[in-house]
Chain A
Amino acid sequence: MKKILLFILLGLLTVFGFANTEEELVFEEPVLITSGGQSPGALQMMVLAKTGGINYEFVKDVEPTAENVEPFNTVIIVVGASGKGLGAAGIDVETEIERLVELAEISKELGKVVIIAQIEGSTRRGTSSDEITDAIVEFSDFLLIKSDANEDGKFSTISEEKDIPIRFFEKTSDVRDILKELFL
């Protein structure tokens, strides 16, 4: 009985803990949307931001400079590695990771809110995508994750271990309402 109460208490603390952390964050426009791995997910995020009425700019492979980040209050990195996308950009995954780490570092130095989003679900999980996530997650203030991308618990574990608030959603189009809720 005591154990059950303890579990309930822990559960409540966890829920309220995350909720409070999310509430403390201030999500402000304008938003810079960029790709983390050059998959089409970033473009889907752009379409969702556009149709959600968010003030955003979409630069798929933004160069990591203070000048490029400064005009924005929030940076959304949409993680998803695509061989085709990386090939089209003429880069490999290592180069992409270097760019993203630098971008995340600069964003944090400038006091921007960094959101890591995985909106393509389980089909966009894989070694390269996970390497990208692992490289930049420590700079993240908020995780926006499609539920079926978390079948192995990767993102919930990150959230717990690194104390990063997380929001799950079922369908990609749900992100539109979440963006409205966060920014408007």
Chain B
Amino acid sequence: MKKNIIIALLLVIGTIMIFSQFIYPDIRPGYGVTETVWLSEYFEPLEGTNLDTPVFIMDSGKPGATFLLMGGTHAREIAGTTSALVFLENAVVKTGRVIVIPFSNKSALSVEDESTDLPHFFEIQTKSGPRFLIYGDRRTDIKDQGFEDPEQYVHDPSGMIIENGAESRNLNRNYPGKPDGNPTQQLAFAILELIRKEKVNFNLDMHESDTPRVLTDPEGNVYEGGRLAYMLVCHPEGLEIGAISTMEMEDMGIPMKLEASSQNFRGLSHREIGDNSDCISFLSESPNPGQERIGEDKDVINDPDYPLKHRVGMHIELMKKLFSAYNLFNGVQIEVNNLPEYNDLMDKGVGYYLN
């Protein structure tokens, strides 16, 4: 009897250990989605791994530009993943094509944020009842990477060194990727393969950073964050589009900083995608209270200053500005309808726009 209980217990624990890392997020595509594929269709070695991730194609059927929207490069940056879901579940593309990867690093989604004690799942109310948003980690699950972190991370091919070896699991330090590299390098390579094969014209990689709040710890040390928050980083090819977009964001009441991607800091999407394909690359940052350096009881959904609905609104509005600025330089190339307005998002909340 005792033996049976132990065996059953071991089986349960074993099952949990094996399957806990595999998470398929709750995605409920809207009518605008015309095709669903997996990233491994662009790079086969990802197939069957926890780094393979769903890719949604929203094709208007009318020739135009192709835009790639990426959330979840860092899976704890939930305004990015949630904005991608809001887009997928509401948008209707009228001209051109939009490709959405809502969870770019699905492996990072399968583990909790290692830097905080925030829960892995957040329940929010939607129009069809409760739904869970996943708060993952910044990096690929070490189990999926398959080996211990090196002492230092060396970017390939530049040779740039980052002292923290764990950054070898950070998707946004691994572009342009490597087909015969480690799993995170292969993931970066697969995303670039998609961009090249689908002839993506421009993309937005949605991120979050700490907030601009000034915080004081119990010892009286003052922390001022937010260096990256409300920032649009552009590949040099996209600076004009970025300049117009940020000015339009300011006009609607959300000022954003404009930055050109660095030539020296390598491996980031906005630099390497632009350098290794014909895609004009952009990266946005919203302020996430969960990423503040100090403090407890961080509220990543309903923070009074930086609620999720505001952060999602920022990313959605920025997309609209990027579309119109892109069209300004290229003639009408992309048209997307049915995205929520910022004020409506603030009034009704994010859940109203999730199926």
Contact surface of A with B, Cβ cutoff 8 Å: 40-41, 43-44, 46-48, 82, 84-85, 87-88, 120-121, 123, 171-173
Chain A nearest CB from B275 CB (Å) reads 13
A123 close to B257 (CB less than 8 A): yes
A18 CA / B240 CA spacing, docked (Å): 34
A-B contact sample (17 more), CB < 8 A, given A44-B246, A171-B250: A40-B260, A43-B239, A43-B240, A43-B258, A44-B247, A44-B258, A46-B243, A47-B244, A47-B247, A82-B259, A84-B259, A84-B262, A85-B260, A121-B255, A172-B246, A172-B247, A173-B247
Chain A nearest CB from B314 CB (Å) reads 16
A43 CA / B258 CA spacing, docked (Å): 10
Chain B nearest CB from A66 CB (Å) reads 29
A84 close to B255 (CB less than 8 A): no
Set of chain B residues within 8 Å of A85, measured between Cβ atoms: 260
A123 CA / B224 CA spacing, docked (Å): 13
Interface positions of B from 244 to 269, Cβ below 8 Å from A: 244, 246-248, 250-251, 255, 257-264
Set of chain A residues within 8 Å of B261, measured between Cβ atoms: 84
Chain B nearest CB from A121 CB (Å) reads 7
5 shortest interchain CB distances as A-B pairs: A40-B258, A44-B243, A84-B262, A47-B243, A173-B247
Contact with A along B279-292 (1 / 0, CB 8 A): 00000000000000
Count of A-B contacts judged by CB separation below 8 Å: 53
Q: Which of B234, B239, B244, B263 is close to A87, meaning CB atoms less than 8 Å apart?
A: B263
Chain B nearest CB from A75 CB (Å) reads 20
B262 close to A47 (CB less than 8 A): no
Q: Is B349 an interface residue (CB 8 A)?
A: no
Chain A nearest CB from B329 CB (Å) reads 10
Q: Is B242 an interface residue (CB 8 A)?
A: yes
B262 close to A87 (CB less than 8 A): yes
A41 CA / B260 CA spacing, docked (Å): 11
Residue total for B at the interface (Cβ-Cβ under 8 A): 21
Closest chain B residue, CB of each to CB of A88: B263
A121 CA / B255 CA spacing, docked (Å): 10
A87 CA / B244 CA spacing, docked (Å): 24
In the assembled complex, 28 residue pairs joining A and B whose CB atoms fall closer than 8 Å, in A order, are A40-B239, A40-B258, A40-B260, A41-B258, A43-B240, A43-B258, A44-B243, A44-B246, A44-B247, A46-B243, A47-B240, A47-B247, A84-B260, A84-B262, A84-B263, A85-B260, A87-B262, A87-B264, A88-B236, A88-B262, A88-B263, A120-B257, A121-B255, A123-B257, A171-B247, A171-B250, A172-B247, A173-B247
Q: Which of B239, B242, B250, B264 is close to A172, meaning CB atoms less than 8 Å apart?
A: B250
Chain A nearest CB from B284 CB (Å) reads 15
A46 CA / B251 CA spacing, docked (Å): 18
Set of chain B residues within 8 Å of A46, measured between Cβ atoms: 240, 243
A171 close to B263 (CB less than 8 A): no
Set of chain A residues within 8 Å of B248, measured between Cβ atoms: 173
A84 CA / B235 CA spacing, docked (Å): 12
Closest chain B residue, CB of each to CB of A83: B262
A4 CA / B204 CA spacing, docked (Å): 57
Set of chain B residues within 8 Å of A120, measured between Cβ atoms: 257-258
Set of chain A residues within 8 Å of B255, measured between Cβ atoms: 121
Set of chain A residues within 8 Å of B257, measured between Cβ atoms: 120, 123
Interface positions of B from 221 to 247, Cβ below 8 Å from A: 234, 236, 239-240, 242-244, 246-247
Set of chain B residues within 8 Å of A82, measured between Cβ atoms: 259-260
A169 CA / B258 CA spacing, docked (Å): 18
Set of chain A residues within 8 Å of B250, measured between Cβ atoms: 171-173
A24 CA / B257 CA spacing, docked (Å): 35
A87 CA / B236 CA spacing, docked (Å): 13
Set of chain B residues within 8 Å of A40, measured between Cβ atoms: 234, 239, 242-243, 258-260
A47 CA / B242 CA spacing, docked (Å): 10
Chain A nearest CB from B245 CB (Å) reads 10
Chain A nearest CB from B267 CB (Å) reads 15
A44 CA / B258 CA spacing, docked (Å): 9
Interface positions of B from 4 to 50, Cβ below 8 Å from A: none
Chain B nearest CB from A127 CB (Å) reads 15
A32 CA / B46 CA spacing, docked (Å): 51
A121 CA / B230 CA spacing, docked (Å): 14
Set of chain B residues within 8 Å of A41, measured between Cβ atoms: 258
Chain A nearest CB from B280 CB (Å) reads 14
Chain B nearest CB from A167 CB (Å) reads 18
Closest chain B residue, CB of each to CB of A50: B240
Closest chain A residue, CB of each to CB of B261: A84
Set of chain A residues within 8 Å of B259, measured between Cβ atoms: 40, 82, 84
A21 CA / B242 CA spacing, docked (Å): 35
Closest chain A residue, CB of each to CB of B325: A47
A172 CA / B254 CA spacing, docked (Å): 12
